[in-house]
A = this chain, B = another copy of it.
Amino acid sequence: METGRLEAFSDGVFAVAITLLALDLAIGGPGPHQPALATKLHDHWPSFAAYAVSFATIGIIWVNHHALVRNFAKTDRPLLFLNLLLLFFVVSIPFATSTIAAYLLAGNADASLAAAIYQGVFEGMSISFTLLFWWAIRREHLRVALTAQQGRQATIRFGIGQLGYIAGIGLAFVSAPASLALSGLVAVCYIFERTPAAPQLPGGQRQGDHGEHPGA
């Protein structure tokens, strides 16, 4: 099977999930017992912080998904279902984001639980992405096979993210805001990180599009 619709459906889900994040920013209108807008915005900071971290995280996983899938020569049913597993966690992010935003400042077990759920959803997303990656390698679905070094680099990439999110789950029980900050840090690392997820194809084109073989 081709990758066109896998990409189109995934892009749709990523796009809707990233846009729905902002729905939770809504603050009520003015009213007799309402504080000033500036006060409300200030008190609302956990929503803005969680929005920024979740936006960056979904954005990065989209960039990585893009880099991975463009190296797919074909798909099969298990790959489609592993992709659905990844999307399951992506779709859960707006819920996890609104929960951590609501409870971040509760300063008790609720805040920790909300932060742990948030990190847990990211961990699930990260594990699903890794499964997608390994299935593609194992079944030789890639246009250009990874070298041993690229495999190691990819393992390090995925490992860092997963360890970061597991550390975040632990940190949630110490400090929910610190746990959120850690997720933000993981996102910033991925933005500036330069290890290619897929071998660089020459000329900005998908190798194989015109029938060349990897060795050509």
Contacts and interface: CB of A to CB of B under 8 A. Distances in A.
Interface of A: 1-2, 4-9, 11-23, 25-30, 36-38, 41, 55-56, 59, 62-63, 66-67, 70, 73-75, 77, 80-81, 84, 87-88, 91-92, 94-95, 98-99, 102-103, 106, 109-110, 113-114, 191, 194, 204-206
Copies of this chain present in the complex amount to 4
A206 B75 CA distance: 12
Contact of A95 (B26, B77, B205): B26
A215 B5 CA distance: 26
Contact of A30 (B66, B88, B106): B106
Contacts of A5: 7, 11, 66, 70
Contact of A191 (B4, B9, B81, B87): B81
